[in-house]
Amino acid sequence: MSRAFLGVEHSMLGRAWRDRLAVSEAVQADAIRQTLGLSDLLSRVVAARGQTAASAPGFLAPSLREAMPDPNGLSGMEAAVERLAGAVVAGEAVAIFGDYDVDGACSAALLSDYLTAAGLRPAIHIPDRILEGYGPNIPAIQALKRAGADLLVTVDCGTTSTEPLEEARRLGLDCVVIDHHQAPLDLPPAQAIVNPNRQDDLSGLGHLCAAGVVFMVLVALHRDLRARGFWAGKPMPDLLAALDLVALATVADVVPLVGLNRAFVAKGLAVMRLRARPGLAALFDIAGTEGPPTAFHLGFLVGPRINAGGRIGDAALGARLLLTRDPLDARRIAEQLDQLNRERRSIEASASEEAEAAAFALAETTDAPAYAALVTSGAGWHPGVVGLVASRLRERYERPAFAISLDGLVGTGSGRSIPGVDLGRIVRAAVETGLLIKGGGHAMAAGITIEAARIDAFRLFLHEQMGDAVALSRAASALEIDAALSAAAASIDTIESIETAGPFGSGNPEPVFAFPNHRLTSVVPVGTDHLRLTAAGPDGTRLSGIAFRAASSPLGVELRAQQGRLVHLAGTLTVSRWGGSGRAELRVMDAAVPEQR
């Protein structure tokens, strides 16, 4: 374990602070600085992410050409391309069945855009979360067949849909599955299943989101159609222009930003700056984003608005927004999604309050906090927000969490995990043992359907399956600090330099900086449970900061108690352009009281 940073072993949030740069990596930081001429600060950040002087240039400038493997390395790719190319050449009727989240909407839009450019008129079906649930269902497949579909392509779903795909086969409807979720050993019947998390897949691309897998399929399909001469005399679609959708899905689905994913997001953000997709441009405007698009915008401003349609409204709104070429239509849909997102926040707040009360009551009557996972349930919780409620519980209790909406004797739930605990694998194991009616997901998130009477057994099963992994993750959950700065050093130039090590997200964490011995001159509640603060450095330079959702937390209580005193602050730096002029701002993650002051 790396050394304590600033000697902090117990912060205001009860965490130890650790130097992200291990002693062995400090040598690499020096080599990077000397070889590439980078600043000390940027060299530390790059080395702390496992880079060397040799690998750092590629890390700082991700190249899609260098990162892109041969798509045929994915199991099932050749069969999928053969069937899709046949449909394009023959002008068949193709139906796309997607998921109701951002990844599903982006995947459906990606495939639809390409097939439309090839002359087809694909139909898109996004299931209603409450009425249909996740993934292909028999009534929907029957309806698509009656509407004339020759080929069904499922995106971001389908890997575990054995009965629905058996019905499709009975109806004479061919199926191609493009997915990334955990896969059972026995796969459903389909002409092809492309999923890097198939147990027989050796591509090493299991970190891709579904839209990333769809992009790989389109690269292979495009290559095949060019070899057939299909595009002769026709305008070819620009696959690189579609990377905006891949980037959005990659960030919103919280898959690791490593390797090919980093290249996808870096290039996709560059595409977004052109504002060529009316739907995304409208959503950026509605969300009030400042400056050029960033991964933060995608994850916290754009993604939640697209998700709101699938959570509590029309599940197809997201895909329609991403596909429309009409700016007026885009503005109208973006406004709908923004309104749904406001409603979603209200519904989520109510359910979260009940879930936290239930968690507290459970802790009072049992040894629930000792369980590896926190499992709560409640009648009437909106199924569209249980994933968000689970995220809140995970953050508060620092362990995997499930929130389950009960409807009579059956519950529909969603779980969120912590680093190092593969939730999708454990949920699949629970399905195979008969503990769950159905369930699936990936490492960090999963969905389940469960009989209410089995919730206690499920909680125990999770504890037995993930206890050791959760203990290891929590033991290593110290806040990792990249470097110490003063308020005077927190400039826009510094932030822009650090951003060259981005895009940041899961697998490539945003740098966290400590500001030692800064005096809290102001701590003021703002908005919904946020705190805005001002701190002065040793030379009197002031630093503005904001602590989101912290006003009622232990961090917020302690910050207000320390107003006027010296504290160590820790957080990430961003450029705030509020009011038109840019300035550095600290997003406060934690704070600590200096040992001597």
pLDDT at 361 over 80: no
Distance CA 19, CA 32 (A): 18
User: Sorting pLDDT into bands at 50, 70 and 90, what band is 367?
Assistant: low
Scan for tokens 């232990």, then name that residue: 554
Q: Residue 371: what pLDDT? A: 82
Contacts of 117 (CB under 8 A, 6+ apart): 235, 236, 237
Our separate counts of H helices and E strands in the chain read 21, 18
Instruction: Specify the pLDDT at position 595.
Output: 82
Distances (CA, A) of 241 to 98, 113, 215, 249, 556: 21, 11, 11, 15, 43
Q: Which residues, other chains included, contact 437 with Cβ-Cβ below 8 Å and sequence gap of 6+?
A: 410, 448, 449, 450, 451
Question: DSSP letters of 105-157?
Answer: HHHHHHHHHHHHHTT---EEE---TTTT-SS--HHHHHHHHHTT-SEEEEES-
290 Cβ partners below 8 Å, 6+ apart?
575, 576, 577, 578
Contact 518, 487 (CB under 8 A): yes
Q: What is the pLDDT of residues 102-115, one digit of tens each?
A: 999 999 999 999 99
Does the structure show a pLDDT above 60 at 364? no
Average pLDDT over residues 404-420: 93
As a whole number of angstroms, the distance between CA 283 and CA 102 comes to: 13
Residue 363 has pLDDT above 70, yes or no: no
Distances 536 to 490, 540, 544, 564 between C-alpha atoms, Å: 12, 5, 9, 10
Read off the pLDDT of residues 498-537 as tens digits, 9 standing for 90 and up.
999 999 998 899 999 999 999 999 999 998 789 999 999 9
Give Cα separations from 515 to 41, 46, 159, 560 (angstroms). Answer: 14, 20, 48, 17
| Burial label, 396 (beta-carbon count in 10 A; 0-12, 13-18, 19+) | middle
The average pLDDT across 218-247 equals 97
**83 Cβ partners below 8 Å, 6+ apart?**
151, 174, 176, 191, 192
- Look at residues 233, 329, 229 and name the one whose alpha carbon lies nearest to residue 279: 329
Q: What is the mean pLDDT of the chain?
A: 93
Q: What is the pLDDT of residue 2?
A: 53
What residue type is assigned to position 463 of the chain? H
Identify the pLDDT of residue 380: 86
- CA–chain centroid gap for 3, Å, is 30
pLDDT, position 549: 85
Q: Sort 415 into a burial class: Cβ within 10 Å, 0-12 / 13-18 / 19+.
A: buried
First to last CA, the chain: 27
Beta pairing class for 151-155 and 174-178: parallel
Assess whether pLDDT exceeds 90 at residue 23: no
Domains of the chain, with CATH numbers?
A: 69-236 (3.90.1640.30), 366-475 (3.10.310.30), 482-592 (2.40.50.140)
User: Residue 581, exposed/middle/buried by CB under 10 A (0-12, 13-18, 19+)?
Assistant: exposed
pLDDT tens string 26-45: 999 999 999 999 999 999 99
Q: How do residues 153-192 score in pLDDT, each as one tens digit?
A: 999 999 999 999 999 999 999 999 999 999 999 999 999 9
Work out whether strand 445-451 and strand 483-484 pair parallel, antiparallel, or are unpaired: unpaired
The residue that leads in pLDDT, 97 or 3, is 97
Helical H segments across 19-125, by residue range: 23-36, 40-47, 56-60, 64-67, 77-90, 102-117
Does residue 572 carry a pLDDT above 90? yes
Share of the chain above pLDDT 70, in %: 97
**What pLDDT, on a 0 to 100 scale, did the predictor assign at position 195?**
98
Compute the distance between CA of residue 87 and CA of residue 120 in angstroms, rounded to an integer: 9
pTM above the 0.85 mark?
yes
Q: Is the model's pLDDT at 263 over the cut of 80?
A: yes
The pLDDT of residue 1 is above 50: no
Residues 413 and 381: their CA atoms lie apart, in Å, by 10
